[in-house]
Amino acid sequence: MRTRGRRNKESQLTDELRCEMIFYATTHNYSDAERYERFAIDCKLDKKALEIGAVVRGLVSDLRERGRPPVQILETASATGLTAVGVVAELTRARIMCIYTSLDAEQNLLNYACARGRGHKFVQGDFEALPFSDEIFDVYIMMGAAGYRPKGTFYSEAYRVLRSGGYYVMPQIGPQPTVSEREKADAMSAGFIIIRADNYLIAQKS
């Protein structure tokens, strides 16, 4: 009985998750921050954030040796700030100072993240037309918003705001979490050198 009850609960959760996936894929409506946070946690993005933090720590240690503290991190499509929590926690554990800037198109999500101290700076904007000057970030993270780039300026903007030697980090999520050839080609056409292309795209500005 107990096993059947648990299975019912699990399949109900899967149905709910599927409904939410369809909702976000079809409406692109991220205005309800509480709802998106529940969805992101059901997708285990809070756990994924710790893994991303460890990857970023490896890259940042390398940058820090070149004498540039605090490390400037930009995350776009930052949503409710779960990635910021994992990355800042991992860097803090390694005693690496950073300034974490979160950018999203949706102000409600930024307000939610800001109210919970998930990151340091919160900017509403478009990742295809970034409201920042050239060469000010060491690391640029973007996850889960590959389908929202109609203008084709995403990579040229990422390249522009990164300092020389800075890294673009794109963790892959979803049913097929591997970097596509198209994604690599787009990054390379903007001038990036590909460092890693498996379940992460990591590209460096030369």
Ligand X SMILES: C[S@@+](CC[C@H](N)C(=O)[O-])C[C@H]1O[C@@H](n2cnc3c(N)ncnc32)[C@H](O)[C@@H]1O
69 Cβ contact partners less than 8 Å away, ≥ 6 residues apart:
96, 97
Q: How far is the CB of 191 from ligand X (least distance, A)?
A: 21
Contact mark string toward ligand X, 99..118, x via CB under 6 A: -----xxx--x---------
CB-CB contact of 141 with 74 (8 Å): yes
**Which one, 38 or 184, has the nearer CB to ligand X?**
38
Q: How far is the CB of 148 from ligand X (least distance, A)?
A: 4
| Residue 94 engages ligand X in binding (rule: CB under 6 A) | no
Distance CA(84)–CA(182), nearest Å, equals 27
DSSP string, 86-146: HHHHHHHHTT--EEEEEEES-HHHHHHHHHTT-SSEEEE-BTTB-SS-SS-EEEEEE-S-T
Q: How far is the CB of 107 from ligand X (least distance, A)?
A: 9
Window 136 to 175, contacts with ligand X (CB under 6 A)? 143-145, 148
Q: Report the interface residues with ligand X, using CB under 6 A.
A: 30, 40, 45, 76-77, 79, 82-83, 104-106, 109, 126-128, 143-145, 148
